[in-house]
Amino acid sequence: MAAELLPALDPVIGHTAAASVGSLLLTGALAKLRDVALFRATLDNYRLLPEATLGAAAVALPLAELAAGALLLPTASRAAGAGLALLLLVLVTGAVAWRLARGGGPIDCGCGGGTEVPLSRGLIARNAVLMLLTLLAALPALDRPTVWLDALATVLATLFFLGLYQTANLWLAHHPKLLELRNAP
């Protein structure tokens, strides 16, 4: 009954949203799992978890990201993947907001992906966009046949969103430095 109340999207929009968020979660999780010690140190910088839980959290969080990303890709498990992804995004965005509210100097977000992104309100806005994309992925799709052109459109739109995400990350990473240069005498 509740599914009938939700608007149905064109399948290309749902596939693009799921592939975009799923790809970001998978690559972020793999980067964290490649260097668990670094991710553990990043979690420690947030000062939200007791020391004894940092090791487990440094493994559990990327594994949950990996599961969410993998579940988002097939249409059969997309709703479960979107739910898990949304939960993770709310959790990490809440941690960023909490750390920003408490102050304590700039730290890396720990998002993974090779670019050091300091905590900022812009990071919260970026995550809000990811949450919206995740919600789009969870919506039911119109029941229409898809053709090769739909697959091509999905791939190209996903690449566009991944490029936009990378551009946003680079801007967020360099914004403090640009402000410093602008305000220099």
Q: What's CA 61's distance to the chain center, in Å?
A: 12
How many other C-beta atoms can be found within 10 angstroms of the C-beta atom of residue 20?
A: 25
Residue 2 in this model has a pLDDT that exceeds 90: no
Which stretch of 5-9, 87-91, 122-126 has the lowest confidence by average pLDDT?
A: 5-9
Q: What is the pLDDT of residue 164?
A: 95
Nearest Cα residue to 95 out of 117, 123, 72? 123
R_g over Cα of the chain: 18
pLDDT at 19 over 60: yes
Reported confidence tier of residue 79, pLDDT bands at 50, 70, 90: very high
Residue range 101-123: mean pLDDT, rounded = 83
pLDDT at 73 over 70: yes
Q: Rounded to an integer, what distance in angstroms lies between the CA atom of residue 117 and that of residue 38?
A: 14
pTM reported for the whole predicted model: 0.89
pLDDT at 131 over 90: yes
The pLDDT-based confidence of 50 (bands split at 50, 70, 90) is: very high
On the question of pLDDT at 168 being above 80, the answer is yes
Judged against a pLDDT cut of 70, whether residue 138 lies above it is answered with yes
- Angstrom distance (rounded) from CA 169 to CA 118: 10
What are the residues facing 108 on neighbouring strands? 118
Burial class (CB in 10 A: 0-12, 13-18, 19+), 74: exposed
Report the pLDDT value the prediction gives residue 180, as an integer from 0 to 100. Answer: 74
For residue 4, what pLDDT is reported? 63
